[in-house]
Amino acid sequence: MIKNTSKFSLIIASLLLLAGCGATTMVSTPIANIDTTPLKLADLTETEKQNWGHLDLVSDTIPGMSVDKAYRELIGQKKGSKIIVAVLDSGMDLRHEDLDGVLWTNTKERAGDGVDNDGNGYVDDIHGYNFLGESYNEQLEAARIVKLKLGDADTQAKAKAKVEENYAKAGPEKQRLEQISQTVKNADAAVKKELGKETYTKEDLAAMKPTDQAMQQNVGILTQMFQYADSISDLLDQIDEGITYYSDQLNYNYNVDFDGRAVVGDKPYDITDTKYGNGNPQNRVEDESHGTHVAGIIGAERNNGKGVNGVANNVALMSIRAVPNGDEYDKDIALGIRYAVDNGAKIINASFGKGFSPNAQWVYDAIKYAASKDVLFVHAAGNDGANLDDPSNPNFPNDQVNNGPEISDNVLTVGALAPKYGSEMLAVFSNYGDINVDVFAPGDEIYSTMPNNKYDFQGGTSMAAPAVAGVAALIWSQYPKLTASQVKNIIIQSGLEPKAKVVLGGDASKTASLGEISISGKMVNAYNALVMAEGVSKGQIKL
């Protein structure tokens, strides 16, 4: 599973380092040279933070996808055709107030009768299917390779090294974060008592003139913490996420003795064993939020006065629960892709990835099957801040083997952008590669739906992929006769292409243009994509 990165890991890394030390006719876009766009100096407003991925680079000086502009100037109230988008992910909150009106419903199936009414091989699959059964916590594939001795000797050696290194690191990192958390809590309690109030700002801290050394130290600690978050409460929440992250590594992800699959009852490395799972792809615990967040980015109900607006305005979201709190199984992904295709999905969003894939061919075959049925597969590039063209940094699934030719023309791999236009525009966690990454889209600190009718920010290429899946759905909804290959290439070719250098992986000594770190060199732009789609649909533009 691709972990959401920007929410806590950059802060955590810093703290650990500190501890160690409407129209009916489309018109051409007016954008000519976006490198002349002025840099935005002011901080984003709260409204901009919650919607930045939909804003326009020229008018807002924020590197969004011009979604609002597309609706305002091109789409208006036109709904177009309904597009089924499969969310191949963790469980989704099917009861969420901003999603319950845009769910895919299998009208040929009768809920709760325990019968496969439509004969598709899956019982009671009303809104999708659950390939994980009642499991959630899971190992990473490297741990499973070590435990089961999968693959050749080289694969086993690499997996063993990764497991041993990361398991050994997780314990001390967790302990250091716990120490930081306790230090911050103690300082927070002391300052609250000194100020006589339960909440305070960094300005309140700056105004304090403590005379004793202990209070001076407390104020200094908290002043430093305000560099990483808007409030101490928010910072502590993020530290807690970091503690949970390392706890999960110790207890599940890199624990070779853990067996998260036992409750499912299938043979996960036997592709012919398909009678498992159930028809309820609802998230099992509140922390299983990834699929819900992704779904909202694609198609949360627009303009309903609640929460957020999805990119696409006429979608049916199919929930396929196949991504646990750990690495997904190749079998679940392959069968999940085939389920989506066979049940009418036109787009599959795949916000997950892993470094080892013992049965990658099963997934390649499923992707090619999707291509044969004219289905687009949108995949997240991953969050290691690494060059995927380097063979030592694989990210499965992908659309080629060993940097070779594409296996099919229906896969879009998406890197992530941050809201700050300029050299820091590439999200520090985003993977890249001029062979393996097609385009970039907003993915850092994206506001979207969360379980139990909540909303929050999450960041990662996991958030960039559904933004692009939403644009694809928007295009297909307005121009349903286009093929998956055409939609893919419209998105790639219509994007904005800045020439300026961006920082790679948060390392200021490493810079490159988007053209040097992706196939297209472009940022996805919904407005331009719709303009091009109309030209392609009328035969005026050849791809």
Asked if the structure places residue 504 within a domain, the reply is yes
Which residue is associated with the tokens 């801040």? 385
- Split at pLDDT 50, 70, 90, the class of 28 is very low
- With a threshold of 0.75, does the pTM exceed it? yes
- Count how many domains the chain has: 2
Give alpha helix (H) positions in 9-134: 9-20, 46-51, 57-60, 67-70
Asked if the structure places residue 44 within a domain, the reply is no
Average pLDDT over residues 72-82: 93
- Split at pLDDT 50, 70, 90, the class of 24 is very low
Asked if the structure places residue 501 within a domain, the reply is yes
Question: Is it the case that residue 19 has pLDDT exceeding 70?
Answer: no
Identify whether the C-beta of residue 453 lies closer than 8 Å to the C-beta of residue 292: no
Question: Is it the case that residue 12 has pLDDT exceeding 90?
Answer: no
The domain boundary residue, chosen from 253, 278, 310: 253
Asked if the structure places residue 306 within a domain, the reply is yes
Pair (428, 472) in one structural domain: yes
Pair (315, 217) in one structural domain: no
Helix, strand or coil, per DSSP, at residue 67: helix
Long-range CB contacts (within 8 A, 24+) of 153-162: 155/356, 155/358, 158/356, 159/356, 162/355
Average pLDDT over residues 26-55: 75
Pair (360, 385) in one structural domain: yes
Task: Look at residue 4 in the predicted model and tell me its pLDDT.
Answer: 54
Pair (186, 128) in one structural domain: no
DSSP assignment of 152-218, as one string? -HHHHHHHHHHHHHHHHHHHHHHHHHHHHHHHHHHHHHHHHHHHTSS---HHHHHH----SHHHHHH
The per-residue pLDDT of the chain, averaged, comes to 93
- Split at pLDDT 50, 70, 90, the class of 9 is low
Pair (197, 130) in one structural domain: no
Asked if the structure places residue 28 within a domain, the reply is no
Interval 278-320: pLDDT, tens: 999 999 999 999 999 999 999 999 999 999 999 999 999 999 9
Task: Look at residue 16 in the predicted model and tell me its pLDDT.
Answer: 64
The domain boundary residue, chosen from 224, 253, 282: 253
The CATH number of whichever domain residue 343 belongs to comes to: 3.40.50.200
Asked if the structure places residue 37 within a domain, the reply is no
Long-range CB contacts (within 8 A, 24+) of 173-176: 173/16, 173/242, 173/246, 174/243, 174/246, 174/247, 174/250, 176/16, 176/19, 176/20
Pair (109, 181) in one structural domain: no
Which of residues 426 and 58 earns the better pLDDT score? 426
Strands 454-458 and 446-450: antiparallel
Pair (112, 246) in one structural domain: no
Largest CA distance in the chain: 77
Pair (104, 226) in one structural domain: no
Strands 376-380 and 347-350: parallel
Task: Look at residue 29 in the predicted model and tell me its pLDDT.
Answer: 44
Question: Is it the case that residue 482 has pLDDT exceeding 70?
Answer: yes
Pair (117, 171) in one structural domain: no
Asked if the structure places residue 122 within a domain, the reply is yes
Does residue 326 come out as left (phi exceeding 0), alpha (psi in the -120 to 50 range) or beta? left
**Among 90, 89, 119, CA closest to 106:** 119
Average pLDDT over residues 201-216: 93
Asked if the structure places residue 223 within a domain, the reply is yes
Question: Is it the case that residue 354 has pLDDT exceeding 90?
Answer: yes
Question: CA angle, corner 457, sides to 337 and 499, nearest 5?
Answer: 80
Pair (166, 247) in one structural domain: yes
Pair (192, 107) in one structural domain: no
Q: Which domain holds residue 193?
A: 161-253
As a whole-number percent, the residues of the chain with pLDDT over 70 amount to 93
Which residue is associated with the tokens 């499912």? 264
Pair (339, 474) in one structural domain: yes
Q: Structure tokens of 443?
A: 């993915």
For the beta carbon of residue 241, count every other beta carbon within 10 angstroms: 17
Question: Is it the case that residue 524 has pLDDT exceeding 50?
Answer: yes
Average pLDDT over residues 252-265: 97
Which of residues 89 and 15 earns the better pLDDT score? 89
Helix, strand or coil, per DSSP, at residue 23: coil
Identify whether the C-beta of residue 22 lies closer than 8 Å to the C-beta of residue 77: yes
- Looking at residue 457, its amino acid is F
Does residue 385 come out as left (phi exceeding 0), alpha (psi in the -120 to 50 range) or beta? left
Interval 370-403: pLDDT, tens: 999 999 999 999 999 999 999 999 999 999 999 9
